[in-house]
Chain A
């Protein structure tokens, strides 16, 4: 099956939506990704689907990494990851991942604390 070389979708969510400097927010990252284990068969062709899963994920704020993850094929398809982050100032959170087939995806979300 020929796949269009479009960037895979992913989303960063900050919860709660309203926060101030000094608040600790939840940062959710959801990616559309098959996370194939390399052990499952394709139902149509009967052939084993090659392993295709996210390997490394880096969460950064204004370019400074604050969380790094190494994940494996045991993570569910269309993975969801959530961590906390203490808001220090206005800026941008970036989440970048690389998968075992070399695909790289980068997403950005603005951090906009309400004026206290």
Chain B
């Protein structure tokens, strides 16, 4: 009889422990569910705070939106998308302050036929211009690499001017997790 009582006690203990574990797991699930539900709204709050912060921040003297920058460089001339331009950028930039950008253009780089300049532009920083690189045949290859600061997820555009006066471009989108403008 005592044995049965002991068994019962053990079973109850087991059940108790099981219930404890179940409750613990339940509370964990609820907590994580709550967290996942809370995060989107937290993100939204963050976004609107960011927008406000942006608006309140001092604007730089070189502010120029992308369309104006392209117009200033090409003087309104036609710019074609071209796969002769190889633009290498990361798909996701963990650190928006240091985003590597590499541009390579297929070109013989002779006096008669070469890349005159490569213009690195961005779509969402207040100054869309990152760098203008004026090359010469002495470079032998149309190649340029640097690191840029991106305030938020946006596009990087390589606008290329050829020695015959034509323009071409290629662009790639980069997701920025932590903005790079302080």
Contacts and interface: CB of A to CB of B under 8 A. Distances in A.
Contact of B182 (A26, A40, A64): A40
Count class of interface residues, chain A: 20 to 34
Interface of B: 57-62, 97-99, 122, 125-127, 129-136, 138-141, 143-150, 180-182
29 contacts: A37-B127, A39-B60, A39-B181, A39-B182, A51-B60, A51-B61, A65-B136, A66-B138, A67-B135, A67-B136, A69-B133, A69-B134, A72-B127, A72-B130, A73-B127, A73-B149, A74-B122, A74-B130, A74-B131, A74-B150, A75-B130, A76-B180, A77-B98, A77-B149, A79-B146, A80-B145, A81-B131, A83-B135, A84-B139
Contact of A37 (B60, B134, B147): B60
B59 A75 contact: no
Contacts of B141: 24, 84
A68 interface: yes
A24 B132 CA distance: 22
Contact of B131 (A48, A64, A70): A70
